[in-house]
Amino acid sequence: MIRPVSFSDAQQLLNIYNYYVINTDVTFDLQPLSLQEFQDKLHEITKAFPFIIYEENNEILGYAYAGKFRSRPAYNHTLESTVYVKHNHYGKQIGSKLYAELIKQLKQTNCRVVLGVLTLPNNASVKLHEKYGFTKVGHLREVGYKFNTWLDVGIFELKLS
């Protein structure tokens, strides 16, 4: 089921996220977050933006949320979306279900544009964004450095209104 996040979910969410920090380049965090850091992040996001989880048999298998794209006030109607699926549960359409619900919720806000900011190459994430109507509007070359590799970032845009 898809439901709103609860603060009691923090440890399971952190476990999902830290797997990606340690093992992949899809996030540019270099060190695993502490539970307190993740709880602080969760608190900040949920004050103003949707944060949903996908749960099956009391196990969180994925999550999605939207947050500020940038802090300057002119960007207040532009959000950045995020989705993570537990690493051993790919191919079950969890990310798609989460994204469909997140976009539905964002359409009920005053948000005008949602951006997906993706490490490239990342075919699965690119396909997910394209499935929901995001268009690639930017490609930043070698702007991140992780695992002794320079990484590109793609920016994908979805206009909601």
The domain containing residue 140 runs over which residues?
2-159
Query: How far is 49 from 45, CA to CA, in rounded Å?
Result: 6
pLDDT at 10: 97
pLDDT in tens, 111-131: 999 999 999 999 999 999 999
pLDDT at 91: 82
pTM value is 0.94
Domain count, the chain: 1
Provide the CATH number for the domain around residue 130.
3.40.630.30
What does the CA dihedral 57, 80, 157, 63 come to, rounded to 10 degrees? -10
